[in-house]
């Protein structure tokens, strides 16, 4: 049975690539600029993570540290024994980045005991990452992707629990995915974005009047239903363009009747034309 939080996974299309396996010592303390998100699996040791704009993060037990976005930070050992860890670069689909990405905090720290439901996957990931050579870590990458997908669900459930309910403080799409009415409208957008969706249709799916639907949707998601639909379409269009699908074909696949209207809207959202973006 599909749950509201499954909207998170449907949008994510995440991937992970292991880039470091081993022990890090106290001398490895230079801040590094990461071009995308990154996961640090601290398996053993006392670690400190320094960030460019915030207080240091102290880790004295096995933990997972997730930086969803590109940024600058360093991870090092507090003592001479070092820190055993695995680091993996993470990447998400354009639709995710358009609407889901802003809902995530700058840093998410999850103690390993909170990952009990996927304990065996985590153990298999560690074993594979350590055993496989750098050029043969495809299975480790896949296992890391499973952990990353679970992390999205964990974050949604944690925020809903801390706020006392979906409409009392959860941010963006995480809150919306916890609201059955808005989640239903969002699911309609995700599955029928290529159709002629209008406000009346989405409000009917949500079981609300148009005015109340717009107000409630904007309060939870942070933008209007129309803007969310546009952003989703453009995000899907970027995926298609990246796969070398012709602009004219993309326009029809994402719900635009004419290529001209698609090009105009794409440039309005992205800042450049579809052809220029795809180069």
The Cα-based distances of 3 to 112, 124, 149, 192 in angstroms read: 24, 27, 14, 18
Tell me how crowded residue 242 is: count the other CB atoms within 10 A of its CB: 12
Please give the model's pTM, rounded to 2 decimal places: 0.62
Distance, CA of 200 to CA of 159 (rounded, Å):
31
Distance, CA of 89 to CA of 141 (rounded, Å):
9
Distance, CA of 237 to CA of 247 (rounded, Å):
9
Is residue 228 within 8 A of residue 95, CB to CB? The reply is no
Distance, CA of 267 to CA of 100 (rounded, Å):
21
Which domains, and CATH codes, for the chain? 6-163 (2.60.120.10), 179-278 (1.10.10.60)
Burial bucket for residue 200 (CB in 10 Å: 0-12, 13-18, 19+): exposed
- Can you tell me whether residue 121 is helix, strand or coil? helix
Digit-by-digit pLDDT tens for the chain (279 residues) are 345 455 555 555 567 788 888 888 766 556 677 777 888 888 889 998 888 777 888 999 999 888 877 788 888 888 888 889 888 888 766 656 655 565 667 788 888 888 888 888 888 888 888 887 777 778 888 888 778 777 776 766 665 555 444 333 345 566 676 788 888 898 888 889 999 899 999 999 999 999 999 999 988 887 899 988 998 898 888 888 888 899 999 999 999 999 999 999 999 988 899 999 888
Distance, CA of 70 to CA of 37 (rounded, Å):
5
Sheet holding 57-59, edge to edge: 32-34, 71-77, 47-51, 57-59
Is residue 93 within 8 A of residue 13, CB to CB? The reply is yes
């Amino acid at each position: 049975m599909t749950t509201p939080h499954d909207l998170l996974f449907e949008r994510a299309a995440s991937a992970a690539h292991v880039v470091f396996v081993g022990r890090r010592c106290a001398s490895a303390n230079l801040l590094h600029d990461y071009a995308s998100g990154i996961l640090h699996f601290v398996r053993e040791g006392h670690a400190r993570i320094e960030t460019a704009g915030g207080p240091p993060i102290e880790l004295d037990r096995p933990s997972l540290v997730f930086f969803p976005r590109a940024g600058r930070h360093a991870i090092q050992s507090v003592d001479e024994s070092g820190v055993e860890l695995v680091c993996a670069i993470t990447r998400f689909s354009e639709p995710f980045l358009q609407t889901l990405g802003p809902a995530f905090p700058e840093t998410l720290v999850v103690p390993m005991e909170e990952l009990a439901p996927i304990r065996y996957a985590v153990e298999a990931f560690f074993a594979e990452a350590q055993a496989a050579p750098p050029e043969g870590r495809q299975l480790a990458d896949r296992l890391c992707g499973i952990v990353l997908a679970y992390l999205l669900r964990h974050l949604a459930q944690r925020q809903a629990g801390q706020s006392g309910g979906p409409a009392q403080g959860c941010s963006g799409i995480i809150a919306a995915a916890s609201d059955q009415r808005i989640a239903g409208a969002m699911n309609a957008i995700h599955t029928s974005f290529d159709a002629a969706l209008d406000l009346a249709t989405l409000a009917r799916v949500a079981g609300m009047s148009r005015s109340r639907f717009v107000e409630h949707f904007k309060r939870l998601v942070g933008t209007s239903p129309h803007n969310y639909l546009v952003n989703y379409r453009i995000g899907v269009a970027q995926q298609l363009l990246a796969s070398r699908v012709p602009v004219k074909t993309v326009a029809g696949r994402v719900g635009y009747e004419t290529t001209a209207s698609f090009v105009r809207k794409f440039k309005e959202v992205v800042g450049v034309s579809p052809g220029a973006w795809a180069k």
